[in-house]
Structure formats: C-alpha cells, structure tokens
Copies of this chain bind each other. A is one copy, B any other.
Amino acid sequence: MNKIAFQGTHYAFSEIAARKYFGDNIETHPCRQFTDVFKSVENKNSHYGIIPVENSTTGSVYQNLDLMLDSSVTVVGEVQLRIEQHLIANPDVKLEDITVVYSHPQALQQCGNFLASFPDIETIASYDTAGSVTHIRNEKMLHAAAIASRQAAEDNKMQILKEEIEDNPQNYTRFHIIASTTQMPEGANKTSIIFSMKNIPGALFKSLSVFALRDIDLLKIESRPMRGKRWKYLFYLDFAGTMNEERCQNAIRHLEEITSFLKVIGSYKAAED
C-alpha cells in the first residue's frame, strides 16, 4: 500500500486531494510542516508526497515553490480540488459569540471578505485547517471558530456555523505529487522547470522564445526572488509537452545557453477537473 506524506492533520485538504488522486487504498502520513513532507519523500519514509502549489484565489503557495528549488524530489503527478471553506465551532456556540478565528493563513486569506465583515474578530494563523478544528474542540473554546473542510467538522462532531465562506466559489487548489525518483507517468503532457537568467539584454524574452520557436505552449510563468540576491529572480515555468519529446529536449538545451541555472522538476499528467 502506498504511503503518502501530506502537511496537516487528517481531513486536511491535502489528504482529501491525495485520496482523489490515489483512491482510498493508501496510507496517509500527516506532517507538521511542508518541509517535513519533502524530507519524508527524500528519505523514502513515504512513497509519495502531496503539496499544494497554487490556489485560484490567492495564487501560488510560494513556500513550496521555494522548497522545490533545493529538494531532490521530482513532480510526478498533479490533482486539483475545489476548496469549500466553512466556519466551524463547538456545538451550541453562536456566530455572535466568536471573538477569534483560527486557520491556516491561506484559508484565512481565501475568506478575506467574510472576515473583513467582522472587524472585531481576531484571526490567528495555525499550521493547518483541520488541526485548528481539533484545537478549538480539545480546548473546549466557546468564543473561537476555525475555518476548515466539511469533513474536518463532521469527523470532529463540530458545528458548521456558516457554510462556504470563501470569497470566490471558483476556489480551487492545484496539488503536486512528489517522488524521490524521476518518473514519466502514462499520459504525461506537462513539464515544470525552474531557471534563472544570465544578465544579458532581453534575457526573459529570449528564454520564452526557445519555446515559441518550437510551438511549445507556455502554461504558466511565475517569478520568485533569489535568496540573498536583491531584485534577482528565479522563474518557475510550466509548458505543454514532456521531456520524452525531442522538441522539448531541444528547447531545454537552447534555454541552457541563456540561463545561469536550470532545473527540470518533472514531466507529468496535468490535473483534470
């Protein structure tokens, strides 16, 4: 049975996404931090890891982009999940009793409009959504709520005070499946790379031209600051195609002429609905 590492406690969205991707016949391994998920895969304590990489409301999960840079893991799959956030409290607690809301910072951000309509409610960042439900239950907190999934509320026998409080119902998260060895899964159609450019004029345009000249579609580009180098950037780029295709191999070889750093983090099958 495959063992899958994820960040958070049981019923976290990452665990729900893992079941969507692998099915129910898996063992899940909760980790406190994203870095622990990477370590669990690198050390072969888990067969795979699952990490959120982008949310359609709040954007990329930069911490995982940054971790991917230094890690030896590769991306072997992708899955997306609609994220419904609910305001959850102990039984009999009322909305007007709430003075503090606990959740993961990304969840707090996804519900920014809802929370802004209660300016007196304090928000406290916690390690994960489902864990914040367990926390307010275990501490029997009567003035606190948590933001998490329906499954987290039901499993903890807690009350949903308000349903679907995310700002935008088109609230989806993309997750990457990571493994310790490079794999080329069946149906692979997408590749992710990280690169930084040489300091030459028009470098960004030239890097994108290696794909355009070979009719390779760019799916996404994202920039991140390089640590310790002021206003220098790493680029995270997804393109349509795999490293088994000659035109993609040629594009990457061409790109190496322009870049000072280049890492292919994996070819995999793009998430479907």
Contact = CB atoms under 8 A, between A and B. Distances in A.
Copy count, this protein chain: 2
Interface residues of A, number: 39
A117 to B, nearest CB: 13
A233 B208 contact: no
A217 B201 CA distance: 7
A168 interface: yes
A233 to B, nearest CB: 7
Nearest to A226: B56
A227 B233 CA distance: 25
A168 B227 CA distance: 7
Contacts of A211: 205
Interface string A111-127: 00000000000011100
Contacts of A233: 220
A261 interface: no
Given A124-B124, A124-B125, A204 B218 contact: yes
Contacts of A124: 124-125
B228 A168 contact: yes
Contacts of A230: 56, 170, 172
A209 interface: yes
B208 A170 contact: no
Interface of A: 54-59, 62, 105, 123-125, 167-168, 170, 172, 174, 201-202, 204-205, 208-209, 211-212, 215, 217-218, 220-225, 227-231, 233
